[in-house]
Amino acid sequence: MNEITGKTFKIFLAAVVVLLFVVSAQAHAKTTRIKDIVNIESVRNNQLIGYGLVVGLNGTGDALNNSPFTEQSLVAMLERLGVSVRDHNLNTGNVAAVMVTANMPPFTNQGSEIDVSVSALGDAESLQGGTLLVTPLMGADGEVYAVAQGPVTISGFSIEGESATVVQNIPTSGRIPSGAIVEKEIDFDLAEMSEVRLGLRNPDFTTARRIAQAINGFTSSKIAVAENSSSVALKRPTNYNGSIVDLITDIEQLPVQPDQIARVVIDERSGVIVMGADVRISTVAIAQANLTVKITETPQVSQPNPFAEQGQAIVVPRSDIEINTGPDADLALVDTGVTLQDLVTGLNRLGVAPRDIITILQGIKAAGALQAEVETL
């Protein structure tokens, strides 16, 4: 009897362990690290832009007659190098004016290399085989933060024959990996700050409060306060030995279950529909009935009787019109509080196409039965 009881207890204990593991896995699957849902204030990329010339093209550059800015830039560059061509007629197709853009990551040190993107500005056909000349890259304040130069790498091509042209991808834009050298750093000393703000990538009051609660629970002190739906203020405790960087490192791994409002995103141009998991539908009836009008023209020729003194052959129009008002259309009743899966299953059973679903969702929203925010792109 004791042996049976011991075996039963072991089986029960194993079942409890498995149940706790499943519950823990489900809870963990719904959580996200803080670092994946927030941005640190002022820790961001900085956009740079510049204007330059790409040389070495195989006759696929700008036509100087159609791109005066390319000719002016070429003349100015040659004059800086000691070559005077101002009174000469330039006729080369191996040069293209381009716009150069780059994103300088935060805390980038002087001398670091960053990638740049190059895009044709004139009527160049391709940048294949070209080399970007020294191009200063400026920030929004007009200061030069990096200098770009190097061979342009493109992922497309353009081949033109006498009667056909083949173009793959975009041959007039490319990249230069590690093509710019940072010349000036952006002064921002995060370590000396005593307070920073965490900006939520998807603003939500519930998520902001959960982030603050997770941080305060981890540190056992009230150092985080949810200011609004978009930001959480984080203060460094006075008795904390590390810097604000150390504090961010400690709390960014904390798991938080993010929340969001029920939203339906509709792209009418492509027919794409994205619905959140919390979308609910109140009781509503849905009917799909398409009106189809089919017109078939079958013209006939009417000729005069044989041996008639007068008359000529004429064309007599014959039109066959068919109207289908959808007699086989179904009427479906959607109960209140259905989930996203129930809604999609019901619409699929009706044989509703994606673009028809867009119209149905807009109609449900207009009727006040869609408990979600509808965003149209």
Mind listing the pLDDT tens digit for each residue in 261-291? 888 888 877 777 787 777 777 776 666 555 4
* 365 vs 286: CA distance, rounded Å: 12
* Token pair belonging to 241: 């030995």
Which pLDDT value is given to residue 157? 59
Provide the 3-class DSSP secondary structure of residue 206. helix
pLDDT of residue 313: 67
- pTM (two decimals): 0.63
Query: For residue 66, how many C-alpha atoms fall within 13 Å in the half-sphere facing its CB?
Result: 10
Per-residue confidence (pLDDT) for residue 376, from 0 to 100: 79
Greatest mean pLDDT among 70-84, 135-149, 150-164, 275-289 lies in: 135-149
Separation CA 49–CA 162 (nearest Å): 38
- Please state, in angstroms and as integers, the Cα–Cα distance from residue 187 to each residue in 115, 225, 363, following that order: 21, 27, 53
Query: Which of the 8 DSSP states describes residue 153?
Result: B
**Does residue 80 register a pLDDT over 50?**
yes
Each residue's pLDDT tens digit, 246-259: 888 889 899 999 88
Instruction: Let me know: does 172 contact 227? Beta carbons within 8 Å.
Output: no
pLDDT: which is higher, 93 or 27: 93
Most distant CA pair in the chain: distance in Å? 123
- Per residue in 97-116, pLDDT (tens digit) is 999 999 999 889 999 999 99
Rounded to whole angstroms, how far apart are CA atoms 326 and 334?
A: 21
Instruction: Calculate what percentage of the chain has a pLDDT beyond 90.
Output: 29
**What is the pLDDT of the chain when averaged over all its residues?**
78
For residue 311, pLDDT beyond 70: no
Q: Is the pLDDT of residue 294 over 50?
A: no
Give residue 333's pLDDT. Answer: 57
Query: Which long-range contacts (C-beta less than 8 Å, at least 24 apart) are formed by 270-279?
Result: 271/354, 271/355, 271/358, 272/354, 273/354, 273/357, 273/358, 273/361, 275/340, 275/343, 275/344, 275/372, 276/340, 276/372, 277/339, 277/340, 278/372, 279/339, 279/340, 279/343, 279/370, 279/371, 279/372
Residue of higher predicted confidence among 355 and 183 = 183
Q: How far apart are CA 231 and CA 224, in angstroms?
A: 10
Instruction: Kindly report which listed range (35-44, 171-180, 217-226, 339-348) carries the lowest average pLDDT score.
Output: 339-348
Mention every residue, 6+ apart, whose C-beta is less than 8 A from residue 50. Answer: 99, 100, 101, 135, 136, 137, 138, 148
Q: Are 329 and 288 in contact (CB under 8 A)?
A: yes
pLDDT band at 211 (very low <50, low <70, confident <90, very high): very high
pLDDT of 165 over the 70 cut:
no
